[in-house]
Amino acid sequence: MIGRYSLPEMAAIFAEPARFRRLLEIELLATEAWASIGVVPPEAARWCRQHAPVTDDEFVAAVSEREAVTDHDVAAFVDVLQSRIGTAHASWIHYGLTSSDVVDTAWCWMLRDASELLVAASSELVATLKAIAIEHRSTVMIGRTHGVHAEPTTFGAKVALWALQADRDRTRLLAAQRAVSVCKLSGAVGTYSNIDPAVERFVAERLRLTAVPATQVIARDRHAEYLWACAAVGNTLELIAVELRHLQRTEVREVEEGFKAGQKGSSAMPHKRNPISAETISGLSRVLRGNLQAGMQDVALWHERDISHSSVERIVLPDSSLLAHYVMRRGKRLLEGLQVFPARMLANLDSSFGLVFSQPVLLALVQSGMTRDDAYRVVQDNAMQAWRTSTSFRSLVEADPRVIIDANGLDAAFDLTRSLRNIGAVFEALDAIQ
């Protein structure tokens, strides 16, 4: 992933020196596990731990140089590691293991740690959305269906639904974390033919991972679930971003992204203030969905393993982790700086001549004894005339001899508070999340 969309705490997890430190630790723990059951001499395990190299940039370069000879990354890593440890004790490194034992366990360890950052960012996003929803619980605006004025709602109710969805994303991230917090050290086809199951249990306990049955590789539905959770985060942030992009349009202008001192919206037009964060989030969510597609295709591997998934995962697992983390942080920043214009929201609601109250009028006519279809036609006729003539919908209804509703009934039908009287149900659901 390019640095532009990488936050340092997540990038650190997937940096090459850090990845090699994990591979090294797995190898050392496996050697110590063998020692604990009397296969490896205890002094050999101690020597390997005491003389283990620092996996810095120089070490990474040495492995890359060796890989040019072996054409096998883990074999190159083991070769360099054994040479740095030195003496005959180093021969116990990688004893009974196959490459995927080490690589897959390291991947799951990295994804477990990445998940912790994702869950933390998700919790902060939920809290931000919840606070905005409560703040704007009574900020009245028009609800739109198909992009057209429908009935009144509040900006707080809109944001509350976003918060509920973001909370479901958090649940998905936690489930994905459980799915990937596993390990396997069971050999070439997962049968423990050359490794004692006690070694796997030892390593799993030390790394706080769960040992699972596997072939040569851990089943990739786990990784696909992780990628789905990341993509779901992107979907939710894009849902929010698309709505905010629409509401910031000049013709609507009900909200606006924050604009800091010194910022420029356009290199050519000084008046511009563009929804750049929302548009960035929309774009990055497409990458997250694309990565999910690749991850889904990684599930079906030949027999007990092939490496068609390996090259894909080197890209999509770090990138999706970085992007999901980034869009949540970027989204939180966008929401915290969001400007909301309640007066403009009310003006837009009023701009459709009162047509937003067409359903209460319809229901009042039904209550007066009119058939629903007849009532619908009466309301529709007046609504269309209001549009054509830019006339108050209520005045047209009052003048229509077919309408037998007294003034109190019309007042109730055109009462904004009546339209929003039950909106508290949304906030009851919001209050239930932490």
Q: What CATH number does residue 365 fall under?
A: 1.10.40.30
Q: Given 80, 95, 110, which residue is the final one in a domain?
A: 95
Q: Are residues 113 and 196 in the same domain?
A: yes
Q: Are residues 365 and 219 in the same domain?
A: no
The rounded distance, in Å, linking the Cα atoms of 228 and 279 is 21
Q: Are residues 11 and 137 in the same domain?
A: no
405-429 average pLDDT score: 94
SS3 148: strand
pLDDT tens profile 222-258: 999 999 999 999 999 999 999 999 999 999 999 999 8
pLDDT tens profile 21-56: 999 999 999 999 999 999 999 999 999 999 999 999
Check residue 87 and give left, alpha or beta (phi > 0: left; psi -120 to 50: alpha).
Answer: left
Q: Is residue 146 flagged as an active site residue? A: yes
Q: Are residues 260 and 301 in the same domain?
A: yes
Q: Is residue 19 part of a domain?
A: yes
Burial of 139 (0-12, 13-18, 19+ CB in 10 A): buried
The CATH number given to whatever domain includes residue 278 is 1.20.200.10
Question: Measuring CA to CA, which residue among 142, 137, 140, 138 is closest to residue 354?
Answer: 142
The rounded distance, in Å, linking the Cα atoms of 236 and 238 is 5
| Torsion angle in degrees (nearest 10) through CA of 188, 194, 199, 204 | 10
Q: Is residue 292 part of a domain?
A: yes
Does the pLDDT of residue 66 top 90, yes or no?
A: yes
pLDDT tens profile 159-179: 999 999 999 999 999 999 999
Q: Are residues 213 and 336 in the same domain?
A: yes
Q: Which domain holds residue 65?
A: 1-95
Q: Are residues 106 and 198 in the same domain?
A: yes
Q: Say which residues have a Cβ less than 8 Å from residue 351's Cβ, sequence separation at least 6.
A: none
Q: Given 57, 73, 95, which residue is the final one in a domain?
A: 95
Determine what percent of the chain is predicted with pLDDT higher than 90. 94
Q: Are residues 68 and 116 in the same domain?
A: no
The CATH number given to whatever domain includes residue 74 is 1.10.275.10
As for how many domains the chain has, the answer is 3
The rounded distance, in Å, linking the Cα atoms of 114 and 110 is 6
Mean pLDDT of the residues in the chain? 96
Q: Is residue 419 part of a domain?
A: no
Q: Is residue 136 part of a domain?
A: yes
Q: Are residues 15 and 80 in the same domain?
A: yes
Residue 199 to residues 22, 30, 205, 237, 391: CA-CA distances in angstroms? 17, 6, 10, 43, 81
Q: Given 38, 64, 95, which residue is the final one in a domain?
A: 95
Q: Is residue 142 part of a domain?
A: yes
pLDDT tens profile 278-288: 999 999 999 99
- Tokens standing for 95? 């004893």
Q: Are residues 61 and 25 in the same domain?
A: yes
- Tokens standing for 353? 């001549």
Q: Is residue 149 part of a domain?
A: yes
Q: Is residue 40 part of a domain?
A: yes
The rounded distance, in Å, linking the Cα atoms of 237 and 379 is 38
Q: Is residue 420 part of a domain?
A: no
**Catalytic choice (146, 267, 303, 390):** 146
- Cα angle 192-196-197, degrees, rounded to a multiple of 5: 75
Contact in structure between 228 and 176 (CB atoms under 8 Å): yes
Higher pLDDT, 268 or 403: 403
Q: Are residues 265 and 145 in the same domain?
A: yes
Helices (H), 71-98: 73-85
Q: Are residues 203 and 72 in the same domain?
A: no
**Catalytic choice (83, 138, 193, 266):** 266
The rounded distance, in Å, linking the Cα atoms of 241 and 356 is 25
Q: Are residues 2 and 31 in the same domain?
A: yes
What pairs with residue 152 in β-bridges?
Answer: 142
Q: Is residue 358 flagged as an active site residue? A: no
Determine what percent of the chain is predicted with pLDDT higher than 70. 100
